[in-house]
A and B are shown apart, each in its own frame.
Chain A
Amino acid sequence: SQTIHQWPATLVQPVGSPLSLECTVEGTSNPNLYWYRQAAGRGLQLLFYSVGIGQISSEVPQNLSASRPQDRQFILSSKKLLLSDSGFYLCAWSHTSSFHNEQFFGPGTRLTVL
């Protein structure tokens, strides 16, 4: 069966520090991968998605970036965190290169920037 892992589960970082959140998927090949940010009362905001290794699409301009160095690994990064980067970050995957398929979500990372 497929599983999705995210780490760390929680993170407290100072403003201006770098960020690296990791997401890995097991039990499937060539998944679509997604990074979302969930803020209270604002729903899920799609940040990045990837349909293959090295292929990243950005949905919102900001100081975050994403990379997909391996088929089942998706990394969310920042060189310098802002206070506004605080939030709950969710990674998700879907079976094929098709958006209408069900997305499976990871446990999330709660990031607090102080």
Chain B
Amino acid sequence: AQSVSQHNHHVILSEAASLELGCNYSYGGTVNLFWYVQYPGQHLQLLLKYFSGDPLVKGIKGFEAEFIKSKFSFNLRKPSVQWSDTAEYFCAVNAANRDDKIIFGKGTRLHILP
């Protein structure tokens, strides 16, 4: 069965700092990968997703993630964070060929200091 591991539960950064949130998954086959974000008081929403093709995926609000198959990783990055990026971020995976359910990580709470 698939599983997702997010390395950091809580990250605190100052504005303009660079961000990288780690995500590793366990599954030997082809996967679809997602990052979801939940801003304070808002619905959980999709930030970006990878299905196939270019392993560097660009999402909304300047976020990007890189799929490294050999490392089973899908880390989320942003070169310069803003206070408005304060939110909880969830990595998720599903087994593509089996069309299986999406498994979410435990989330990383990001707090940006103004």
Contacts and interface: CB of A to CB of B under 8 A. Distances in A.
Interface of A: 36, 41-44, 46, 49, 59, 90, 92, 98-100, 102-108
Interface in B89-114: 90, 94, 96, 99-107
10 contacts: A41-B107, A43-B6, A43-B106, A43-B107, A46-B102, A90-B44, A100-B94, A100-B102, A104-B43, A104-B45
B106 A100 contact: no
A104 B34 CA distance: 13
Contacts of A105: 43-45
Given A36-B104, A99-B94, A102-B46, 11 more contacts: A44-B107, A46-B102, A46-B104, A98-B99, A99-B102, A100-B51, A100-B102, A103-B46, A103-B102, A104-B43, A104-B45
Contacts of A59: 101
B94 A43 contact: no
Which of B45, B46, B94, B104 lies at the interface centre, i.e. has the most chain A CB atoms within 10 A of its CB?
B104
Chain A interface mostly:
loop
B75 interface: no
Contacts of B34: 102
Given A41-B9, A41-B107, A46 B101 contact: yes
A63 B9 CA distance: 29
Interface string B4-38: 00100100000000000000000000001010000
Contact of B90 (A44, A49, A107): A44
Nearest to B92: A44
A100 B94 CA distance: 7
